[in-house]
Amino acid sequence: MARVSTRRIVLERTTALVVTILFLLPVCWLISTAYKPSNQIFSVPPRLTFTPTLDQFRAAFALFDVAALVRSSVIISLGTTLLSLLLGVPAGYALARSRSRYSAGFAYFFLAIRMIPAVAALIPFYLMMRDIGLLGSWWAVIVFNTMLNCAFVTWMMFSYFKALPPDMEEAALTDGCTQMGAFWKVAVPAVRSGIIACALFCMMFSWNDFLHPMFLTTLDAKPISVALLTAYGTKDITWGTLGALAHFSTIPIVLMALVMNRYFVQGATNGVQ
Amino acid sequence: MAQISFEHVSKTYPGGKAAALTDFNLTIKDGEFLVLVGPSGCGKTTALRMIAGLEEISGGTLKINDRIANDLAPRDRDIAMVFQSYALYPHLTVADNIAFGLRVRGAKPDVIEKKVRETAELLELTEFLERKPARLSGGQRQRVAMGRALVRAPNAFLMDEPLSNLDARLRGQMRAEIARLQRLSAITTVYVTHDQVEAMTMGHRVAVMNRGTLQQLDTPRQLYDRPANMFVASFIGSPPINFMEGTLVAHQGGAALSCGPLLFPLGSHAQRLSAREGSKIIVGIRPEHLKVAPSGAGPGTLSARAAFVEDLGATLLLHLDQHGITIGHANMVDDDRDLMSIAPKLKALVDSAARVVRDDNVHLTVDPALILFFDPATGAAL
Ligand SMILES: Nc1ncnc2c1ncn2[C@@H]1O[C@H](COP(=O)(O)OP(=O)(O)O)[C@@H](O)[C@H]1O
Ligand SMILES: [Mg+2]
């Protein structure tokens, strides 16, 4: 019995390790290009040893306003996340506690919004944003991404709230809360792990999103994802410079995932019973 | 302090097949400990949630202190409820759980602290105040749920099967504790249970419900001695009462009961039942009222073979084959429908000194004054 489970653990860990390495390999490659001298990046066979240099970073900072790019990315993802949660969490709650028999249908309808190809909505949205003068600003991307993400958040939170027995909110009502008080003080903290998962999802989506800001932003609102993918081939930008720039696109999201993940695990194990 | 009354209250859930409550009338007196008891699905929780304001009332009026409360928001009723699931707030510590209601109502921090401490002491929760509910045992959680209600000194306490998730020993202990706390605070309490032992031991008065209607509202003693109908007679008392079919016959001046080969003189019942002479009647005899006859067979004596004997220590529960007597099913409770296929046996609870073993022939008597009579058509007590 014990030996079987030991063998299983070894098997599981090995699998996890192999999968992790497979996923990390391209990242390592990308990162390493940033520290290689330009003439060694494409050397065949790839060289495992090289003299690290910061030249690529100097080039990146000379060619891009890195701080502005990162700031745009942060504003767009935070804005999208906040707005999506602000709309999606109460909407999911309302649907979950609704006595209408169409509430589940509605929730799936919201999920369907998330499923439509974004490009189909992008063109009419582009025209709308142009007409109200928001085209080119952060707002255009935030609103568009919120539309997609908030539908998803609504659906996710619908399932989280649906799984939460209404007793606790009812206890809060008899304890003297208003409906709104019961929602904020009891229901929301009880599904904290779900909210964090949604936030993480929205952040990742917006941070990595390329297509929408590409269409909807102009130079000064451009996030780092757009800069990265449109830069190659223009000016004197090399793979090495891109590798350096990619640091600023990857590191924040990795850090955030690490921090949020801790809250996520905490939230998931905090529930009663 | 509150008096709560239901006047012709009814409830039909959207999509529900039958009404959960029909023409429900009940007045809970100020300061009273009232137990609502009945089989599961009979509408107890529905009635309780109506008092709390958590369930819409389909018809009739609910009054709290003579004020119509049908549409009053829960928070304006100042009523505390202990949920069957306890419904503790998982993200708050025990102290914050208990303090929650006070905080929401804007009590001062020093008052809150003092009351939480007092309540925790009363319920022996002091050492757990900083724990989250997830790290408490079932009994401790139950006490926190009680504490959350007690700390507020509300108009009324509502408790929905608060002990059903505890093990038997703890349940017995908490049963006495809750009754004690209620006597101490003298706050109107409505206690829901499906356990007739809790009903009999805890309440000043007990309301027995079945299928959304009130069957009888009375003291525990009266429910046992004078059940209003066959349902109450069978629901209260354990092991459940024996029902038999009989006929009232004229016998030596007074009425007597003919039950198969048996002939019981009716004693004190004779006068009351004389009008029914010649008609069929349902007889109810509680197992504990059957006594082993000292002198063997006779006209008022049942003779039967013990098909099965359960030794309960102080008493023996005899399951008796009794030929010639039609024995009805004691429990007409929906849950027990499965049991209907088993042929009913007459049950007798006798002193273990009787030393009856399986296949023995026993002779049993009963004090005629303790026999209950019911109308076969309506089930009502006669
Ligand atoms: N939310 C609901 N929707 C539909 N039917 C319900 C609902 N709650 C209870 N019922 C029905 O109403 C009846 C009474 O239920 P309840 O008051 O919970 O009974 P009890 O607490 O006595 O077990 C039951 O038949 C039950 O199926
Ligand atoms: Mg119930």
Nearest to B335 by CA among B235, B245, B243: B235
| B44 touches A: beta carbon within 8 Å | no
Q: Which of A101, A165, A192 sits opposite B85 (nearest CB)?
A: A165
Q: Is residue A153 classed exposed, middle or buried when 0-12, 13-18 and 19+ CB atoms within 10 A define those classes?
A: buried
Please write the tens of the pLDDT for every residue from B217-253.
Answer: 999 999 999 999 999 998 998 888 888 888 888 777 6
Is B104 in contact with A170 (Cβ distance < 8 A)?
no
Please write the tens of the pLDDT for every residue from B256-277.
Answer: 888 777 777 777 777 777 777 7
Predicted local distance difference test score (pLDDT) of residue B338: 44
* Residue numbers in A near B79 (CB within 8 A): 174
Would you state the structure tokens that stand for residue B187, as one six-digit string? 């706050």
ipTM higher than the 0.85 cut: no
Predicted local distance difference test score (pLDDT) of residue B331: 47
Q: Which segments of A43-191 does DSSP mark as H helices, in order?
A: 55-63, 66-97, 103-115, 118-131, 138-163, 167-174, 179-182, 188-190
Band (A209; pLDDT cuts 50, 70, 90): confident
Closest-CA distance of chain A to residue B77, Å: 8
The residue with tokens 């008597």 is: B365
Ligand in nearest proximity to the CA of B207: 1
Band (A36; pLDDT cuts 50, 70, 90): confident
| DSSP calls for A115-152 | HS-HHHHHHHHHHHHHHTT-TBSHHHHHHHHHHHHHHH
**B221 CB contacts (<8 Å, ≥6 apart)?**
none
Buried b (16+ CB within 10 A) or exposed e, A227-260: bbeebeeeeebbbbbbbbbbbbbbebbeebeeeb
The residue with tokens 């045992």 is: B137
* Segment B127-130 long-range contacts (CB within 8 Å, at least 24 positions apart): B128/B94, B129/B93, B129/B94, B129/B95, B130/B93, B130/B94, B130/B95
Q: Does domain A58-269 have CATH number 2.60.40.1180?
A: no
**CA–CA separation, B2 and B4 (whole Å):** 6
Predicted local distance difference test score (pLDDT) of residue A115: 82
The residue with tokens 């007690």 is: B150
The residue with tokens 């001062």 is: B108
Interface test mutation site (partner B, options A175, A192, A263, max chain B beta carbons within 10 A): A175
SS3 percent helix, strand, coil of chain B, rounded to 5, is 30, 30, 35
**CA–CA separation, B163 and B156 (whole Å):** 19
B43 with B11: CB under 8 angstroms?
Answer: yes
Give chain B's residues under pLDDT 70.
253, 296-299, 323-324, 326-343
- Could you tell me how many residues make up chain A? 273
**CA–CA separation, B328 and A35 (whole Å):** 92
Q: Is residue B358 classed exposed, middle or buried when 0-12, 13-18 and 19+ CB atoms within 10 A define those classes?
A: exposed
pTM for the complete prediction?
0.81
* Number of Cα atoms under 13 Å in the Cβ half of residue B224: 16
Please write the tens of the pLDDT for every residue from A67-99.
Answer: 888 888 899 999 999 999 999 999 999 999 998
**CA–CA separation, B208 and B219 (whole Å):** 11
Ordered by start, the domain boundaries in chain B are 4-235, 242-374
Which whole number is the average pLDDT over A231-243? 74
Better-predicted residue by pLDDT, B12 or A3? B12
Interface test mutation site (partner A, options B51, B55, B75, max chain A beta carbons within 10 A): B75
Say yes or no to pLDDT of A164 above 50.
Answer: yes
Say yes or no to pLDDT of A62 above 70.
Answer: yes
Q: Distance, CA B356 to ligand 1 centroid (Å)?
A: 45
Ligand in nearest proximity to the CA of B209: 1
Residues A73, A76, A79, A82: is their CA dihedral positive or negative?
negative
Q: Which helix (H) or strand (E) holds A240?
A: helix A239-269
Task: State the architecture of B242-374 in CATH terms.
Answer: Beta Barrel (2.40)
**β-strand pairing of B79-82 with B156-160:** parallel
Q: Distance, CA B46 to ligand 1 centroid (Å)?
A: 6
Predicted local distance difference test score (pLDDT) of residue A52: 79
Say yes or no to pLDDT of A53 above 60.
Answer: yes
Q: Does domain B4-235 have CATH number 3.40.50.300?
A: yes
Please write the tens of the pLDDT for every residue from A94-138.
Answer: 999 998 888 888 888 888 887 888 788 888 888 988 898 888 888
Band (A270; pLDDT cuts 50, 70, 90): very low
Round the average pLDDT of chain B to a whole number and report it. Answer: 87
